[in-house]
Every structure is written in C-alpha cells, then in structure tokens.
C-alpha cells in the first residue's frame, strides 16, 4: 500500500497532503497538511514522514503555525480558507512559518496590532474604545505619553485614537495603550482634527502596509497627505481640501479590485487634473 | 461636510448607485446589488387551502431576513426594530398595492390555492435596504414560473416541469420603493442614502410608486416636519427614478429570457461579475511588447549591412592564420586592458563574451585551448602570435590549423596567469 504521505497531490478527499506541495494554492478549512521531516538522518531515505512527537531525538526544525492554521496532533489543520504561504527562516534554525492568506472584513483583536479606535465612553479612569471587534477595548488614561494623575490627556468622546493592543485574547476584554514599551508615544495617541475615517478589508490593509507598497508611493506623489492605517481595517486620511480627501478615500477603497494597469491609469488621470 | 456639500462617494443629490440584477439558474431566484448593498430574493410556491375569509384568492407571503454577514451590528436577536419596520413596509408596498393578481392563483375555489412565498435575504448592508429589497422582490416575482395546473371536474392535475412549461405569475404593475433621506430638519435631501448617510440622517421618506405614476405606499419616519411642496417634489423625483429602474428591470428580464430561449448559459455563475481580489497578488512588471516587431524591423532596416567577410586568410605561422583586418575596438579607452581586434565577423561572439574580468578559461577556449600565452615585449604590438612549438598539445593545434579557425590573439595583461593544462 502506498504511504499516504507520498501520494502528494491526488484528488480531493484522498487524505492529508504535504504542506510544501500546497504552497500558493487555495486551501479550505478542515484540510490537513503534513509537515516534511526536518533534516535528519532519515531524510534522504523515505521521502516525507509524518512528524512523530516525542519520538527519537532528532534535530527537528521548528515550524511556526501562523494565522489560519492550527496544530492537530502532528499535522497542521487549516481553519480559514485562502492561499497557503510559507516563509523561510531568516536567521538561525527553525523551519519557517506557514500561514493562510485569507480575506475578511471583520476584525478580531490581536495582541500587538496597531489599530484606530473611536472613543465611545469615558468612565472614571477608563476610556471605552470601539475597535470593530466584538467588544469595546479599554484604554487607561495613564497610557498616554506624559500622562500622570494630575496631567490627564485631552480625550473626548468621539475622538479617534491610534494605539496598540497589550491584551487581546478570546477570554478577556481587549486592552489597548498609546505608548510603547519604552513609554514613548511613537506616533500613537489622539488623531488630529478633520480628515476622513473609512473602512476597508483586512487584506487590503496588509497589502498597503507591506514594505515598498507601490500604491502608497504613488499616492504620496499625488497630493500631500496624512494617512493612518489601522490593522482593524480602518484608514484615516487627511489632505488639503475635502475634495482631495474624498478622492483619496475612494481610490483606496477601489484598490481592492483594481489591477495594476487600471490603477496606473487612474493615478495618471488624477495627476493631470 | 462643512462649507461645500458633497457626498462621500461623489454622487449628486438625486443620483442612484449602480443597480445590478443577476438571475440564478432556477426561476424566481435573483440577486440585486444597489452599490454594495446586496439582496438575494427567492420565490417558491405551494398548493394549500385558502383562508376562510378569502376563499378564491391565493396567499402571498413576504419575508425579509437580515443575515449576520450583512453588518457587524446584525446579530441573531438584536435586529428586531429594523427588521419589523422593513418587513411592514415591504408588505404594504407589495400586498396592498395588489400588484399580483391573487385571483389567478386560485385552483379550486375554497379548496386549493397557490401560496406564493417570497424570501429575501440581505447579504451586505451598505444603506438603503428597502429599495434593494423591493426591487429584488418584484424582480423575483416577475422571473418566477409556477407549475401548470389543470382542473377537470374534480380532478386536479399538477404538471411537472418536464411535462408542461411552467407558467409566469400574472403581475399588474411593478411597485418600487424610493428612499429620501433628510438632514437638518428637512433642509437637505438625498436620494438613495448610503450606510454612513443613513446613520446621520434626521428622517427618512419612502415612496413606493410604479411606472404609471401611481403611489402605492408612502411612509415618513424620523419625526421630521415635511412641507407639502417638499413631499410633492419628492414624488416627482420618485416618478423619474421609478421609470428608470423599471426599464432596467425589463431589460434584465428580457436578457435572461433570451439567453434561456437560445440555450445559452444562465445562472449566477454567468451573470454575477467576477471581482478579483488583487491584494494577495504578486504582480509581475508588465513588459510592453506591443510594438516590438516594428521597432525591431526599424532597427534592422536602418542598420548598416554587415561588412563583407574577407575570404583570404593570411598565414602568419603554421597554425596561425588571420582572416580580415578586424574593426576598430568600440570599447573605448580601457585603462587596464587593451583589447585586440577580432578578426572578421566570424568572431563577433568573442568580442562580446570575453571581458576584462572574465575568467581565463574563456580566453583559453578561444585561443586554441590551453595554450600558454606569451606576451611580447613590445607594448605597441597589438597582435601576438603564438609559436606552435611552445604548444604542448599538438593535437589541438593541428585541429585548429586544419579547421582554419582564427585564433585571435589578444594582448591582455592578466592579473593572474593560469597555466594551461
């Protein structure tokens, strides 16, 4: 009988497949993926074997399970639909990171994410900030740069806040702060007056925040502007006039579905007018 | 929006968003997109006993559901107010206007009538649910076909879809709801409010009208005081809008009918436009190859014809011959190296491939393979000729001389001289 790991890319429902062969392809929730055996004495012998936890002590590459994947025994279980991606380990050991590039509009708070929130309530020492998740996050008034008990930050209900999460899990209410670990604001805090806040999908935000994103460079050449990206799908834009701000907002929303040529056309038309 | 008043998406006051109607494979199934607001409508029918008070009329049943994927605010059990309001409005618009002939739905008076059920699901909420829902409902009803029935005495025969073609419902007119949002106590008016505009509006006026300019339903909510001429103006605008939308609906229905008749492909897979998400795509830089052929032809036409190959070889020593004088080196003045000339056009490749930094192997290959290179004392000599006697590999030299290959010599001052093997 054929070892299931060797079957590779057979038809659907034929058993778990190798993670390596599925890179860049669409995976659906419920699929199981096998990890290749790390470089060990048996690597050359049998092609890929399932990882056996707690078995012979062998140098085993540590594979990190990213968003959309979950460890299930010795395999990876897909929990979101999207494309499977892999990143080689940069420095030392490890087997790299596997994750699923999925698209969604609804945000789930994650620790360390920088988000834009709207202050909805002020109660004593705490602000309640709506970040688009299932619960409003709490923000202490001392979590601003230079804030003390006497020197309170000037935050009103309805203000926009750019901060990061320090506590974000499914069991507790999320908490955010506007300072980094050194106590400096580092760009976080209350976002200024005017401007426009609008919502896009999470995948678009990740694309725009990728290093050397063409869209951002081209937008920067169009008009002088201020822009803040929140990982919860919210973007705040401010340009010199309302007209320009609206144009920028509409262009960014449309970038989701535009191809490169269409985008370049639109930008060239805008820069002419 | 201080100062100049503009809508966020650039529309004018009376502009509607793009309306797209697509039909499914079944009769009576459609998806209506009003901008980003999407409503799915499905019509189904069943034979039931009629109501006692209306023994000769069929039964109509409307149901609008707000799916949880439409907006984060829609959770099971948390949407009741909005839901009740929308359902009531839809019922008044479609039932009380008698747009569907319920008498024609009667099969046997008092015993069997058709119950037509319209289910609407909101798939995405971007404002103005009621307009999209009313369009979806009427389009689904117009698209629907019910099975054919024949009555003979006491026998009722219900024909299956394969036996007899299904029959469309008899629809008198198409009522469509048009929404008007009011801001600042009735000062400003917007048609087809988007979700953000709906959140900040003061009041909403909904007028349901058909293309014959008959008002089927009118409802004002939000508690704003409207003047008489405002309402009249709104009804005029509604008349214009309804005419446009009705025309769009007719066109869509006609298209679908034609496609089905001609046997083409129909259904959601064909009609819903493919929207590709480009956020995850790695784009390749596009190379414009559209006019490569013309450019290449131009270059070839304008280029000088290659020089005539000189056929007479000049024999320097046994084993070394030269064909042609070679052209001037076009590499310019190179500081460290002086490139000799190549002989003729056969050896064009050598000029290209042999560069200053290339390994000696390359040069060795062209120069009769692993021959040691003797640099002459004189710096003015550009051409260095190898003496065959110093060549350890006789066979190779012979091969060279026999083939008459030109072993081009270059006076290349090498940094490291690799001995031949």
One-character DSSP codes across B137-196: HHHHHHH-EEPPEEEETTEEEE--TTTS--EE--B----EEEEEEEETTTTEEEES--HH
Where do we find the tokens 């008198």? Answer: B172
B104 backbone dihedrals φ, ψ, rounded to 5°: -75, -10
In CATH terms, are A113-190 and A196-272 the same topology?
Answer: no
Asked whether residue B107 is assigned to any structural domain, the reply reads: yes
Strand A137-140 to strand A114-123: parallel, antiparallel, or no bridges (unpaired)? unpaired
Q: Which residues of A touch B286 (CB under 8 A)?
A: 260-261
* B280–A246 CB contact, under 8 Å: no
Residue numbers in A near B277 (CB within 8 A): 103, 201, 203, 256-257
CB contact A80 to B (< 8 Å) = no
pLDDT at position B362 is 42
pTM: 0.71
Residues of A in contact with B72 (CB under 8 A): 106, 132
B303 domain residue, yes or no: no
The per-residue pLDDT for range B15-66, each reduced to its tens digit, is: 999 999 999 988 999 999 999 999 999 999 999 999 999 889 999 999 999 9
Q: Tell me whether residues B275 and A206 touch, CB distance under 8 A.
A: no
Greater confidence (B324 vs A232) lies with A232
**B279: nearest CB among A198, A242, A256:** A256
Question: What would the pLDDT profile of B88-128 be if each residue is shown by its tens digit?
Answer: 999 999 988 999 999 999 988 888 899 999 999 999 999 89
Q: How far is A62 from chain B (nearest CA, A)?
A: 26
Indicate yes or no: CB of B286 within 8 angstroms of CB of A260. yes
Helices of type H across B263-334: 268-271, 292-302
Q: What's the average model confidence in pLDDT over A59-88? A: 83
DSSP state of B225: -
pLDDT above 60: residue B367: no
Under a CB-based contact definition with an 8 Å cutoff, are residues A166 and A176 in contact? yes
Q: Of the ranges A113-122, A176-185, B364-373, B387-396, which is most confident?
A: A113-122
Tell me which chain B residues have a C-beta less than 8 angstroms from the C-beta of A198: 8
**For B189-211, what is the mean pLDDT?**
92
Going by DSSP bridges, is the β-strand pair A17-18/A32-34 parallel, antiparallel, or unpaired? parallel
Would you list which residues of chain B are within 8 Å, Cβ to Cβ, of chain A? 1, 3-4, 6, 8-10, 72, 275-280, 283, 286
* Every domain of chain A and the residues it spans: 17-36+60-101, 113-190, 196-272
Classify residue B71: in a domain, yes or no: yes
Enumerate the residues of chain A whose CB falls inside 8 A of the CB of residue B125. Answer: none
Which of B6, B277, B286 is facing A256, going by the closest CB pair?
A: B277
Interface A-B: count of C-beta contacts within 8 A: 46
Using pLDDT thresholds of 50, 70 and 90, give the confidence band for residue A255.
confident
Name residues whose C-beta falls within 8 Å of residue A13's C-beta, 6 or more positions apart in sequence: none
Query: CATH assignment of A196-272, given 3.40.1360.10, 3.10.110.10, 3.30.70.3340, 3.30.1370.10?
Result: 3.30.1370.10
| Domain count across chain B | 1
Please check whether residue B82 lies inside any domain of the structure.
yes
CATH number of A17-36+60-101: 2.40.50.100
pLDDT at B373: 55
CB atoms within 10 A of CB A269: 9
**Span A113-190: which CATH code?**
2.40.50.140
Element (H, E) at B132: helix B129-143
Residue indicated by tokens 């009329």: B57
What average pLDDT score do residues A152-177 get? 92
A203 touches chain B (CB under 8 A): yes
CA distance A245 to chain B (A): 10
Can you tell me which residue has the tokens 């060549």?
B391
Dihedral through CA A44, CA A45, CA A51, CA A56, nearest 10?
Answer: -100
Which residue range forms the structural domain that includes residue B245? 19-267
Q: Which CATH number does the domain housing residue B52 bear?
A: 3.30.230.70
Best probe of the B interface among A257, A261, A265, by most B CBs < 10 A, is A257
Higher local confidence (pLDDT), B295 or A99: A99
């Amino acid at each position: 009988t054929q070892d299931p790991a060797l079957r590779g890319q057979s038809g659907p429902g034929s058993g778990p497949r190798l993670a390596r062969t599925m890179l860049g392809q669409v995976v659906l929730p419920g699929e199981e993926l096998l990890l290749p055996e790390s470089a060990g004495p048996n690597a050359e012998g049998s092609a890929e074997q399932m990882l056996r936890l707690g078995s012979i002590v062998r140098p085993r590459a540590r594979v990190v399970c990213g968003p959309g994947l979950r460890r299930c025994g010795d395999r990876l279980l897909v929990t979101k639909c999207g494309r499977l991606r892999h990143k080689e380990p940069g420095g030392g050991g490890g087997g790299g990171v596997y994750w699923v590039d999925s698209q969604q509009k609804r945000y789930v708070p994650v620790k360390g994410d920088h988000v834009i929130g709207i202050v909805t309530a002020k109660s004593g020492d705490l602000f309640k900030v709506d970040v688009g998740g299932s619960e409003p996050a709490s923000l202490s008034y001392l979590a601003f740069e230079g804030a003390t008990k006497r020197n309170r930050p000037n935050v009103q209900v309805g203000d926009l806040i750019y901060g990061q999460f320090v506590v974000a899990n499914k069991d507790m209410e999320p908490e955010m702060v506007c300072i980094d670990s050194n106590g400096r604001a580092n760009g976080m805090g209350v976002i200024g007056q005017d401007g426009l806040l609008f919502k896009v999908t999470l995948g678009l935000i990740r694309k725009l925040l990728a290093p050397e994103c063409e869209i951002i460079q081209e937008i920067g050449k169009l008009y002088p502007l201020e822009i803040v990206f929140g990982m919860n799908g919210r973007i705040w834009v401010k340009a010199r006039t309302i007209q320009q701000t609206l144009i920028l907002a509409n262009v960014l929303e449309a970038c989701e579905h535009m191809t490169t040529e269409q985008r370049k056309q639109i930008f060239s038309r805008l820069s002419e007018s | 929006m201080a100062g100049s008043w503009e809508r966020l998406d650039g529309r004018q006051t009376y502009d509607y968003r793009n309306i797209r109607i697509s039909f499914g494979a079944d009769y009576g199934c459609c998806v209506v997109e009003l901008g980003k607001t999407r409503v799915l409508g499905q019509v189904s029918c069943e034979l039931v006993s009629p109501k006692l008070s209306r023994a000769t009329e069929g039964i109509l049943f409307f149901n609008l559901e707000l799916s949880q994927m439409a907006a984060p605010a829609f959770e099971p059990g948390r949407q009741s107010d909005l839901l009740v309001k929308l359902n009531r409005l839809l019922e008044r618009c479609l039932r009380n206007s008698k747009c569907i002939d319920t008498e024609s739905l009667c099969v046997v008076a008092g015993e069997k009538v058709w119950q037509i059920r319209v289910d609407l699901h909101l798939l995405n909420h971007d404002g103005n649910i009621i307009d999209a829902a009313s369009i979806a409902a009427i389009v689904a009803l117009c698209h629907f076909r019910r099975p054919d029935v024949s009555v003979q005495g006491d026998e009722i025969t219900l024909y299956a879809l394969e036996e007899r073609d299904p029959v469309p419902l008899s629809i008198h007119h198409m009522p469509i709801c048009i929404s008007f949002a009011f801001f600042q106590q009735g000062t400003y008016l917007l048609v087809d409010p988007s979700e953000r505009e709906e959140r900040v509006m003061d009041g909403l006026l909904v007028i349901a009208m058909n293309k014959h300019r008959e008002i089927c339903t009118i409802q004002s909510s939000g508690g704003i005081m409207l003047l008489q001429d405002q309402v009249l103006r709104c009804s005029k605008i509604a008349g214009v809008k309804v005419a446009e939308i009705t025309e769009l609906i007719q066109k869509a229905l006609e298209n679908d009918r034609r496609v089905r008749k001609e046997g083409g492909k129909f259904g959601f897979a064909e009609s819903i436009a493919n929207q590709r998400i480009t956020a995850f795509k790695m784009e390749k830089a596009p190379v414009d190859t559209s006019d490569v052929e013309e450019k290449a032809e131009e270059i070839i036409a304008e280029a000088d014809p290659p020089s005539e190959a000189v056929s007479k070889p000049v024999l320097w020593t046994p084993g070394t011959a030269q064909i042609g004088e070679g052209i001037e080196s076009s590499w310019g003045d190179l500081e460290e190296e002086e490139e000799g000339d190549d002989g003729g056009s056969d050896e064009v490749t050598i000029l290209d491939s042999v560069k200053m930094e290339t390994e000696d192997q390359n040069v060795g290959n062209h120069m009769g393979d692993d021959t040691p290179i003797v640099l002459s004392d004189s710096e003015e000599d550009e051409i260095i000729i190898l003496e065959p006697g110093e060549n350890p590999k006789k066979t190779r030299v012979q091969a060279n001389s026999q083939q008459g290959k030109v072993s081009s010599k270059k006076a290349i001052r090498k940094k490291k001289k690799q001995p031949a093997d």
